[in-house]
Structures are given as C-alpha cells and as structure tokens.
Amino acid sequence: MSSLPTNCLQIDEANIPGSPEHAPLAAEAINRVLDQFQGQTGVHFCFGNYGGQTIQSGGWKRLIDFLNELHADHLVLELAHRPETDLHALKDIQPEIALGLGVVDIKINHIETADEIARSLETASRVLGQERIEYIHPDCGFWMLKRSIADRKMAALRLGRDLFLGIQPDE
C-alpha cells in the first residue's frame, strides 16, 4: 500500500475535556505524534457526542495550560453551544496557536441561520480579537445527523462566514 501525502494532520481527543487530570500524559502522547509530522497540525477537542448528548462536563478554562503545552499549529474547538465564559478562557491560549471555533451545533437538528453564525463570530471576535480566529467549523462530525441536515448546516456555515466578513452572496 502506498501512502498519500497530506498537508495537515489532525488528532481528535474527546476525553481530556472531561478528565483534565490526565492532561499531562495526554499532552506527552499527542506531542509525540505531532512532532513526527512534517506539515500543519491540529488537535480537535470536544465534550463528546453520544446520541446528541454532551458526555463530558467542565469548560475550557481548566484546560488552558494543557492546550498551551501542545505542539499543534491550531486547535479545533467545540464552542457552538458553550457559554461565553469559554471564549474568555481562550484568550489565554498562546498567540502562536491558531484557533478554530465551532459555530455549528452538531448535537441538534436545528439549522443555524447565517445571522446566528455571523453573531457567534462577532461575539468571538469581540472577545478574542478577529486575528485569533483562524478557522470556523462545526463542533464535531456530522455522523448522527441526516445528510440533508448536515448539508444545510454546512451551507449556513459558509453564508454566516460570508455575512461576518462582508462578502456579498452569489447571485
């Protein structure tokens, strides 16, 4: 089997948000993988998704030291339905680590409007500074949602981003 080149390696970690006491061991293991890759690296963190339910408790504030230990270029963070206090905690992430913000909730069938997504981005920009927001994305994967819902959520994500950036919609 031949290997295909890739520009970015992303590691998914859904346990540490609920078990921060294991953060030192997790950071060491994650960094071993990240350090072996030549290219962009990202780490996805969420509070879990089992049948549309959050399965980890807590918030981002208690994880900041752990996140700052990672040798990742960017973080892919669940934030669509998190409290605004989580945004404030993210101000303490090292500036050389780019932030990816979840602005689409994958645990519900509600299709976010472009206005809702743009407002989420405006709030994040006000708290973090627009320069800190490198990526926007869904909170996690769409595995639980019907394809038609996932497609509409992704379309809303693009429209909300464009609205936030002042990009005129295609005619």
What's the pLDDT band for 20 if we cut at 50, 70, 90?
confident
pLDDT digits (tens, 9 = 90+) for 64-76: 999 999 999 999 9
What's the pLDDT band for 1 if we cut at 50, 70, 90?
low
pTM above 0.85, yes or no: yes
Kindly report the average pLDDT of the chain as a whole number: 90
Q: Report the relative pairing of strands 40-45 and 74-77 from DSSP bridges.
A: parallel
CA–CA gap between residue 171 and residue 166 (Å, rounded) = 15
pLDDT at 60: 85
* Residue-range domains of the chain with CATH: 8-165 (3.20.20.210)
pLDDT at 13: 87
Query: At residue 91, does pLDDT exceed 80?
Result: yes
